[in-house]
Amino acid sequence: MASADQESSEQAGFDGARARMRLRVPSVAERVAEELRYQLAEGFLVPGSKLTEATIAEDLGVSRNTVREAFAELAAERLLLRQPNKGVYVATLEAGDIHDVYTVRRAIEVSSIRAGGSPERIAAVRAAVDEGKRAAAVNDNEGLGSANQHFHGAIVALAESNRLDTIMAQILAEMRLYFHKATMNAHFYSDWLAENEQICAALEAGHLEEAGDLLLAYLNRSEQQQTAIHGD
């Protein structure tokens, strides 16, 4: 997702008329990266475990060189850790990294929401909130989780910055990798809904300062929770 979108010049306010064609066939290396990303997000590859080039190459039926290219891509996204002459390992988040990740989130999320956004972008935030409500209604824990990620992604999208979007996407991928389904019990999601609703409402009402404060408070609390669980 990082190197996939190179339409930085493609402004958002484009007429739907001249819709871009995008029938590009992703390269093999990209598909390998995509597959690995999927397996990482799904938890098939546990943090810290080693990925051997030859094995993966054979499993996916591609050349070792191609696997290497995919590794490079994922290493650049911090999903894999490359240790020279030793191998690549699934990234692990240490105690310090949790703070690190939340520092980034505070910077870009709060800044994005404080600057407001176009009505369409705000509507996208609202949509994510609703998505969460629907998931909660049917007790879909997994759906609840991704709805929350959509919510925070939509907040960053308010800023209409491609770079912030990809940064956020990477951070979310990192969190998916580490705070995996297994580690998140239902009680985590308890407060989200109400809080997201509150933030979204403030945003819609144009109370940007308040929205920012609420979001900041949420992030701080969330960091505390995570640190408490993944001990340090």
Partner DNA sequence: ACCGCTGGATTGTTCAACAATCCAGCGATC
Partner DNA sequence: GATCGCTGGATTGTTGAACAATCCAGCGGT
29 forms part of the interface with DNA (CB under 7 A): yes
Q: In this structure, are residues 102 and 109 in contact, taking their beta carbons and an 8 Å threshold? A: no
Q: In this structure, are residues 70 and 29 in contact, taking their beta carbons and an 8 Å threshold? A: yes
The binder of 219, among a copy of itself, DNA, none, by C-beta within 5 to 8 A per type, is none
Q: Kindly state the tokens that stand for 191.
A: 């407060």
87 forms part of the interface with DNA (CB under 7 A): yes
**Near a copy of itself by CB under 8 A: residue from 34, 60, 68, 223:** 68
Minimum CB separation of residue 89 from a copy of itself in Å reads: 10
Instruction: Name the segment binding DNA (CB under 7 A); options: 21-29, 143-151, 159-167, 223-231.
Output: 21-29
Task: Give the chain's end-to-end CA distance (angstroms, integer).
Answer: 31
Query: Which residues lie below 8 Å from residue 231, measured CB to CB, with a gap of 6+?
Result: 95
- CA torsion sign for 173, 174, 178, 179 is negative
Residues that bind a copy of itself (CB under 8 A): 2-3, 6, 8-9, 11, 24, 27, 65, 68-69, 72-73, 75-78, 81-84, 94, 96-97, 99-101, 103-104, 106-108, 110-112, 159-164, 167, 171
